[in-house]
Amino acid sequence: MRDITLYTVSQEFEYIAELLDRDVLEEEEKARLQAMLEEKIKESSKEIITYQIEEQSNIDVLSNEIRRLQALKKSAENRLDKFKDRLTDNMRKLQCKKIATPLGNVTLALDGVNKSVSLKEGVDINTIPEQYLKVTKELKKTEIKKAIENGENIDGVEIIETPAKVRFMLSKEAKDIQAEKAGE
């Protein structure tokens, strides 16, 4: 708060109030101190309100900046997703399983799908055989996927196929570069 702090204002108020409470002052001095106290309260109130307005304004500016940065982040994430999609499409068209570079490798499953296990909608997880459940009552997706691929029928689950995307396996050097860029 500009030239005042709540602490110093509070100290001044207490000192003046203490002087007014004593019966050692003449009426003229009491009136002068009373007027001075009222004036200090008015001046301090303006400063306090001004401080609050300025701080709220700063908070609003920061909130707007956070929203702006979140939008920039989302835009960057979308560009990266589009880049990965294009790279995936190109690697698939060229039947390229791997791109090896000194900074890391890019790989793609050419069969075009990633297989994962998901609980069907509306199916209670308690109906799945115990051997395919974890203690936390989560599906043992790897075991279920193997069992289904080996011809076993498990009620309530299905294998969902989604298009495979490229995966980046970065070298230590590339990770250091990425960390350095993130710190800028």
Which of the residue ranges 20-29, 76-85, 122-131 has the most confident prediction, judged by mean pLDDT?
76-85
> What is residue 17's predicted lDDT score, i.e. its pLDDT?
73
Whether the per-residue pLDDT at 1 is higher than 50: the answer is: no
Please choose, from the candidates 100, 88, 109, 81, the residue with its C-alpha nearest in 3D space to the C-alpha of residue 171.
Answer: 100
Q: How many Å apart are CA 180 and CA 100, to the nearest integer?
A: 23
Q: 32 is written with which tokens?
A: 């002068």
Residue 48 scores a pLDDT above 90 = no
Where are the domains positioned within the chain? 6-77, 113-163
**Residue pLDDT, tens place only, 3-47:** 455 566 667 777 777 777 777 777 888 788 778 777 877 777 667
pLDDT confidence band for 184 (50 / 70 / 90) = low
How large is the average pLDDT for residues 151-168? 86
Q: What is the pLDDT, as a whole number, of residue 150?
A: 94
- In degrees, rounded to 5, the angle at the alpha carbon of residue 139 between the alpha carbons of residues 138 and 145 is 160
Least confident of 28-32, 59-63, 120-124, 157-161: 28-32
**pTM of the full predicted structure?**
0.49
The answer on pLDDT for 2 being more than 60 is: no
The CB density around residue 172, as the number of other CB atoms within 10 Å, is 9
If we measure between CA atoms, which residue out of 57, 32, 42 comes closest to residue 9? 42
> Which two structure tokens, joined as six digits, stand for 50?
């001004």
Mean pLDDT of 88-103: 91
